[in-house]
Amino acid sequence: MIKILDKYIIRNFAKTFVFMAAALSLVTVISESLQLINLYMKYKAPFGLIFLHQISNIPENLMQALPIATLLAVLFSFSNLSQNNEITVIKAAGINIWRIITIFLITGFIIGTGDFTVRETIVPKTSLYNEKIKKEKIEKEKILIQMDYHNQIVTLPDNTRITIGHLDTKAGIMEDVVMEKYNDAFVIEKLILAKEARWENNSWVFKNGVIRNFNIKPWDEMYFKDYNAYVHITPKNLTVKTKNVRLEAMSVCEFNKHINQLKTFGQDVVKAKIILNTRFASMFSHIVIMMIAIPFAMGIGKRLNKMVSFILAVCAAFAYWSVQAIARSLGENLILSPPIAAWLPNIIFLAIGIYFLIKVKK
């Protein structure tokens, strides 16, 4: 009987959830199409390209719609159960109401896991394809891969900094190179100047330069023809792309690589760390939303009518998303650490959800 009940509840929830997710995604697609209509008309994009451009963005739109779809599906599922007096029948059969709640929470975790998997595997590819269609097919822009960079500054882990006047990533050549090595008190110990450096055998070799050692008094100076700096950062990784980078569309692997590059260049990594931690926290956000919605959907022990319960549940969910935005802002302003900024909303509303669930009559 329990297995039949589980299947019945999950099937009813799944129907509502799929319908809500599809409907919200469709609304998003229509909204984006209207926003981009001027772009399509300007470049006289054929219908086929417009269709591909919108279809390729559906996975990301769907992921954005899942939390609201989860909220509405829980509310409507419990509403139907109450309306048909099925909650009363379940209690009369001696089945604890927490059994139903547990089924929903497990379903929420499955949805969260699916959300994480799609963002890891599908969204990065479809987002890249979507941008490619827009730039290359619709706007007909020629995508140029930048090979030359000027005035690059690279920070290495061992208190070393490299300043590069000109970098050719294709040829693997640096010009006007200055390498500074500092001690733990940030007092310069060694200065290496070279007119040129080349990428040879997986390392940078400085050419025709001078080494000044400040550990010796008076400081020592030595000229060289070739000097292996033992810097193993590839020419491509000596640059970092910060403009037009969509962090939300990155996989965890791409996130970590991007964060390491930002660190290498001495740039701020707080925002990227917050989004990365939020990626993991979002796996449990569907459970939190369910724990917020279930007590209100059940009327918190029948003390609230259905319409009031529905409105309060929606308000509570939007309060949760508002706290997420506030926590992220506090994190970006260094008031909260990235992990706390990402997980604090879940912790707060999980506690609130548990408090109200305890009040639900068994």
Question: CA-to-CA distance for 205 and 94, rounded, in angstroms?
Answer: 78
Ramachandran class of 31: left when φ > 0, alpha when ψ lies in -120 to 50, beta otherwise: alpha
If residue 156 lies in a helix (H) or strand (E), which one and from where to where?
A: strand 148-156
How far is residue 164's CA from residue 180's CA, in Å, rounded to a whole number? 12
Confidence of residue 299 (pLDDT cuts 50, 70, 90): low
Q: So what's the pLDDT on residue 244?
A: 58
Which residue type does 151 have?
N
pLDDT in tens, 204-215: 999 999 999 988
User: Closest by alpha carbon to 116, among 307, 343, 259, 276?
Assistant: 276
* Residue 166: its H or E element: strand 160-168
Greater pLDDT, 209 or 306:
209
Nearest to 70 by CA among 219, 286, 314, 362: 286
* pLDDT for the residue numbered 107: 92
Mean pLDDT of 270-278: 91
Model confidence pLDDT, tens digit, residues 229-251: 988 888 888 876 655 567 777 88
Say whether the peptide bond before residue 67 is cis (omega within 30 degrees of 0): no
Burial of 251 (0-12, 13-18, 19+ CB in 10 A): middle
H helix intervals, 205-269: 252-264
Query: 216, 133, 231: which is closest to 177 by C-alpha?
Result: 231
Please say whether the beta carbons of 196 and 175 come within 8 A: yes
Of 81-95, 155-169, 314-328, where does mean pLDDT reach its minimum?
Answer: 81-95
Which residues is 175 bridged to in the sheet?
A: 166, 196
SS3 content of the chain, % helix, strand, coil (to 5): 60, 15, 20
pLDDT exceeds cutoff 80 at 142: no
Note the pLDDT of residue 306. 65
Residues near 66 by beta carbon (within 8 Å), at least 6 away in sequence: 21, 111, 115, 286
C-alpha to C-alpha distance for 237 and 240, rounded to whole angstroms: 7
Tens of pLDDT, residue by residue over 54-91, are 999 899 889 888 998 998 888 888 777 777 777 777 77
Lowest-confidence pick of 41-50, 73-82, 201-210, 281-290: 73-82
Q: What percent of the chain has pLDDT over 90?
A: 36
* Dist CA 28 CA 269 (whole Å): 31
The residue among 165, 233, 166, 162 whose CA lies nearest residue 199 is: 233
Q: Average pLDDT, stretch 276-297?
A: 88
Whether a cis peptide bond, with omega within 30° of 0, leads into 59 is: no
* pLDDT 10s digits, 216-226: 777 789 999 99
> What residues form DSSP beta bridges with 207?
196, 226
**Residues 319-357 pLDDT 10s:** 998 999 999 999 999 999 999 999 999 999 999 888 887
What angle do the packed helices 285-297 and 97-121 form, to 10 degrees? Answer: 150
Count of C-beta atoms within a 10 Å radius of residue 44: 7
Q: What is the pTM for the complete model shown?
A: 0.75
pLDDT of residue 302 exceeding 60: no
Phi, psi (rounded to 5 degrees) for 251 = -85, 170
Write the DSSP symbol of residue 144.
P
Evaluate whether 293 touches 69 at the Cβ level (below 8 Å): no
Nearest 10 degrees: Cα torsion 316, 320, 322, 325: 180
| Mean of pLDDT over the chain | 85
- Token duo for residue 159: 């208190």
